[in-house]
Amino acid sequence: MSDKNLPNQVSANTLRRLPYYLSYLKTLKNTDVSYISAPVIASELDLNEVQVRKDLAAISSVAGKPKKGFEIDVLINDIQAYIGCDVNNCGILVGAGHLGRALLAYSGFEAYGLNIIAAFDSNPAAVGKDIAGKSVYHTDALLDFCKKTPVTIGIITVPAEDAQEICDLLIKANVKAIWNFAPVKLCTPDGVIIQNENIAASLTIINKKLAEQF
Amino acid sequence: MSDKNLPNQVSANTLRRLPYYLSYLKTLKNTDVSYISAPVIASELDLNEVQVRKDLAAISSVAGKPKKGFEIDVLINDIQAYIGCDVNNCGILVGAGHLGRALLAYSGFEAYGLNIIAAFDSNPAAVGKDIAGKSVYHTDALLDFCKKTPVTIGIITVPAEDAQEICDLLIKANVKAIWNFAPVKLCTPDGVIIQNENIAASLTIINKKLAEQF
């Protein structure tokens, strides 16, 4: 996890909200609505209105017009440009278990510039399989693969006890960023971007709301 | 997504960071370290030091001692109590595809008070299966199941196009909260807690850091 301020004073929390704005705004495309106000966005996404205004001001040069609000198409383009939908990052995934397979089959990553080109696993039963059009190779073949095809993002979906070893291997293979789904803190050298994912994190929010409500 | 302020002025962003503090602090248990300072936590988790102090002050009555810092065991207990590790919420999951299976097999939810007791799917090939000790029933049996065993949290891992129908079914079954992994905005009546998960959201952070670095 990294919530330090990022380039251009945009916080990680703002960045994390952008995909939600984007997917909501996209639902309004091809409707007869062409402008939307910050209060409506805030209400639809259960966010604070001031926060919405601040987020959109940070990433879009188009100010909301009084009464009319933001032009939806422009806002969509600005968010897409900002979050790097136009980049093309090659990724590989290590650990073709259920979570790995779910990520391989997930169709939403390309919209964020990530193209997962292959998967790796040390289990012979998984090696040679084709998951959502991506081949699963033996982990032993990872270094050679990355020599031939430079990879930007390494995704770790192996069990916690194997995660550091895989992390070291990915660093040796010169990936620039590691997206870690294993529930363990990894040691990485300076200069390698690490993004830890904790699938259970949202439960803290659900629990608090349940406690408040009942 | 909901980032409105939650009870006791603790933001959803703070709540979302608590699991990361917790898992890091747990790695220090059974070591000879018994106190930890905010700067060390901030550095280890790549967070801002002021943010760490603010987060911990919000959920723990134990102030960090000058020079010594926070007592690790007390902090672990306070975080666990705060995020509801002591609650016991029954959950069911609908959609036993790869993501559903990954969540069923994930061992980390019980630490957050969630006990997934069963799964449902409309695919005959999945019905009757046992995944990580949880039975998969036909979706048609969901209402009857929930009449016999009240369920607090419904987890949606079906494809986007089926998600609203499943959401409506879960609401009919009287779940109190819906944790939605389908990439679609769901309509829910007031009073039902909805937590949307966007697996791709972290990619916006990775992309920005990559753009900054290279």
pLDDT digit string (tens) for A61-119?
Answer: 776 666 778 899 999 999 888 887 778 899 999 999 989 998 998 878 888 889 999 99
What tokens does A209 get?
């709301």
The residues with which A71 forms a beta bridge, in sequence order, are A35
What letter represents residue B181's amino acid? Answer: F
Break chain A down into helix, strand, coil percent, rounded to 5. 45, 20, 35
Q: Is A71 helix (H, G, I), strand (E, B) or coil?
A: strand
Mean pLDDT of chain B: 87
Please tell me which residue, B196 or A8, carries the higher pLDDT value.
Answer: B196
- pLDDT tier, B214 (very low <50, low <70, confident <90, very high otherwise): low
Find out whether B34 and B71 touch, Cβ atoms under 8 Å. yes
Which of B43, B184, B205, B210 would you mutate first to test chain A, the one with the most A CBs within 10 A?
Answer: B205
B50 interface with A at CB cutoff 8 Å: no
What letter represents residue A193's amino acid? Answer: I
Taking contacts as CB-CB distances below 8 angstroms, the residues of chain B near A20 are: 1, 196, 198, 201
* Cβ distance of B177 and A209 shorter than 8 Å: yes
Distance CA(A214)–CA(A125), nearest Å, equals: 47
Q: Do domains A7-83 and A89-196 have the same CATH topology?
A: no
Distance CA(A70)–CA(B203), nearest Å, equals: 25
Give the model's pLDDT for residue B5.
43
Give the model's pLDDT for residue A84.
75
What letter represents residue A52's amino acid? Answer: V
pLDDT tens digits, residue range A171-204?
A: 999 999 999 999 888 889 989 999 988 888 888 8
Chain A residues 150-209 with a CB less than 8 Å from chain B: 152-153, 176-177, 179, 183-185, 191, 193-209
Look at A139-143, B81-85, B187-191, B194-198 and tell me which has the smallest mean pLDDT.
B81-85
Mean pLDDT of A23-31: 83
Give the model's pLDDT for residue B64.
65
* Cβ distance of B193 and A209 shorter than 8 Å: yes
A18 interface with B at CB cutoff 8 Å: yes
Residue B4 pLDDT exceeds 70: no
Instruction: Give the DSSP letter string of B40-107.
Output: HHHHHHT--HHHHHHHHHHH-S-PPBTTTBEEHHHHHHHHHHHHTTT--EEEEEE--SHHHHHHHH-T
What value of ipTM does the predicted structure carry? Answer: 0.81
Mean pLDDT of chain A: 87
Chain A residues 92-111 with a CB less than 8 Å from chain B: 97-99, 101-103, 105-106, 108-109, 111
Sign of CA dihedral A211, A214, B2, B3: negative
A212 interface with B at CB cutoff 8 Å: yes
Q: Is A189 helix (H, G, I), strand (E, B) or coil?
A: coil
The residues with which A17 forms a beta bridge, in sequence order, are none
Distance from CA of A165 to the nearest CA of B (A): 18
Residue A40 pLDDT exceeds 80: yes
CB B145: neighbour CB atoms within 10 A? Answer: 15
Q: Is B1 helix (H, G, I), strand (E, B) or coil?
A: coil
* Cβ distance of A98 and B108 shorter than 8 Å: no
What are the helix (H) ranges across chain A? 12-27, 38-45, 49-59, 72-83, 98-105, 142-148, 160-172, 201-213
What letter represents residue B115's amino acid? Answer: N
Q: What is the DSSP letter of A69?
A: B
Find out whether A23 and B183 touch, Cβ atoms under 8 Å. yes
Distance CA(B123)–CA(B111), nearest Å, equals: 30
* CATH code for the part of the protein at A7-83: 1.10.10.10
B42 interface with A at CB cutoff 8 Å: no
Mean pLDDT of B102-125: 91
Sketch the domain layout of chain A as residue ranges.
7-83, 89-196
Distance from CA of B137 to the nearest CA of A (A): 19
Is beta strand A114-121 parallel, antiparallel or unpaired with respect to A134-138? parallel
* Cβ distance of A205 and B176 shorter than 8 Å: no
A211 interface with B at CB cutoff 8 Å: yes
What letter represents residue A94's amino acid? Answer: V
Distance CA(B98)–CA(B111), nearest Å, equals: 22
Strand order in B153-156's β-sheet? B130-131, B134-138, B114-121, B89-94, B153-156, B177-180, B193-196
Q: Is B180 helix (H, G, I), strand (E, B) or coil?
A: strand
Write down the number of H helices and E strands in chain A: 8, 9
In total, chain B counts a number of residues equal to: 214
Residue A9 pLDDT exceeds 80: no
* Cβ distance of B206 and A213 shorter than 8 Å: no
Q: Is A15 helix (H, G, I), strand (E, B) or coil?
A: helix
Closest CB from A46, A206, A212 relative to B7: A212
CATH of B89-196, one of 3.30.2270.10, 3.30.470.20, 3.40.50.720, 3.40.50.300: 3.40.50.720
Find out whether A110 and A87 touch, Cβ atoms under 8 Å. no
Residue B6 pLDDT exceeds 50: no
Cα distance between the two ends of chain B: 31
Sign of CA dihedral A50, A51, A52, A57: positive
- pLDDT tier, A3 (very low <50, low <70, confident <90, very high otherwise): very low
Mean pLDDT of B146-162: 95
Taking contacts as CB-CB distances below 8 angstroms, the residues of chain B near A46 are: 1-4, 194
Distance from CA of B203 to the nearest CA of A (A): 7
Give the model's pLDDT for residue B9.
64
- pLDDT tier, B61 (very low <50, low <70, confident <90, very high otherwise): confident
